[in-house]
Chain A
């Protein structure tokens, strides 16, 4: 808890001032995604909740919101996985082990872990959605007995875009996570399912009232996946999503991440589907 207090104190002096942090591991995962392990100065723990994000600073290149892909149970460091999509992330990709970045945060509301204790979980990851979900999965691994059955559905465009391939095997083995994967387009070596992730949902065996579904993926995916989950009778407040928006401050001020009256950086990025139900039309992820 002491680390959390240090962080809060730092935030109080100026929430715009990034902390110094060192990249202690950097590794390309695919053509587009790079993995970074980060250590805060003084090795203080980020003390985040799974599902939260940090603002990463590279001086001269501004900042970007990046979701944390390690669990708070991983001590002394935290992980980020970043796709190269713009000026900032391109620069971040150029950084190597030993380089310095600035970190602000953690920000936002993470997955409602406390509410999820004792429940069965269906984790649905589309494409990069696996990145924030890895923080949840690693947390579950460290606290496996606090959760019921856990199954995971993973979808991406092609097999070569699959992230954390080796790790998923470990999740299956060590954490007894049932794992099912599908790709939109297969290559000859692919032995798994082919088709959209929605095709995997009807087949899952769940007790809906005792199940939390956690869904993270590109905006287009939510609508279709959520419809299928609702068809499975999972209550809307037990369907958890994490939304991506443009963010500049992380403090609920700059306005960019707003969905109607809600600041995603403070009230989200994690929401339950009942909350999304209140949006009148600005939430692209809402099922029709």
Chain B
């Protein structure tokens, strides 16, 4: 690709921990190769979204205030390509937990007597507000997937998310199943694509990539019950990251 035609990339963040941008910085030496292909013009909000020119907007965080809605709409207007970056932006992530209670209660819990001064709406992944062209899942994003998505963007090709359980990758890595060790694991209902990153490193899956299109929520519930979890614990496991996808499990898990 010729230098003058390098697309400009800008980063933005909403309700999140900024861990995703940190993960981008963690790409390491490949980041240098990437800068041959793209110009990074905005990182950690050092420039305002209105003032700078960009082609690709990489956005992390959930939408959770009226102001967020306006801001993301502006970004969308300007960007040729909008990338939702990380769990909060793609599936709502942990921010979704707030949606389980009323907004009033949520505000009171967090802001106490200053609750009235706060504007907040339900937490939403970006695609509930604007059109999203690419999704980079995971909390934090998985570096090989960041690179895979960037390649797709540069090729003008959609990035097709895997639609099968994490177990598929986990088994290919020949990990000892967490259930074998009497641990609960969200692997069977979680969308693959991180190469079972957590399990490879001795952890279990928390479901940070969101659920597959058609999760076997009822079957998964039966397994977890068998392993001694209470319905409430199972609900908590499902909602930790995936509260915003309640339609995929509520009917099986609600008492």
Contact = CB atoms under 8 A, between A and B. Distances in A.
A61 B158 CA distance: 10
Interface residues on A, range: under 10
A58 to B, nearest CB: 10
A61 B157 CA distance: 8
A87 B155 contact: no
Most buried by A among B155, B157, B158, B160: B157
A63 to B, nearest CB: 14
A61 B159 CA distance: 11
A87 B134 CA distance: 14
A60 interface: yes
A60 B160 contact: no
Contacts of B158: 87
Contacts of A61: 157
Contacts of A165: none
A87 B160 CA distance: 9
A91 interface: yes
Interface string A82-108: 000001000100000000000000000
Interface string A57-71: 000110000000000
Contacts, number: 7
Contacts of B157: 60-61, 87, 91
Contacts of A60: 155, 157
- Give the secondary structure class of B's interface: loop
Interface in B133-171: 155, 157-158, 160
A91 B156 CA distance: 9
Contacts of B155: 60
A91 B160 CA distance: 14
A60 B160 CA distance: 13
A91 B157 CA distance: 8
Nearest to A60: B155
Interface string B171-197: 000000000000000000000000000
A130 B108 CA distance: 65
B133 to A, nearest CB: 13
A113 B37 CA distance: 53
Nearest to B159: A87
Interface string A10-54: 000000000000000000000000000000000000000000000
Nearest to B155: A60
A61 B160 CA distance: 11
Contacts of B160: 87
Nearest to A91: B157
A60 B155 CA distance: 9
A222 B158 CA distance: 33
A56 to B, nearest CB: 16
A87 B158 CA distance: 7
B163 to A, nearest CB: 13
A51 to B, nearest CB: 30
A61 B151 CA distance: 12
A273 B181 CA distance: 52
A89 to B, nearest CB: 12
7 contacts: A60-B155, A60-B157, A61-B157, A87-B157, A87-B158, A87-B160, A91-B157
Interface of A: 60-61, 87, 91
What 3 pairs across the A-B complex have the smallest Cβ distances?
Answer: A87-B158, A60-B155, A87-B160
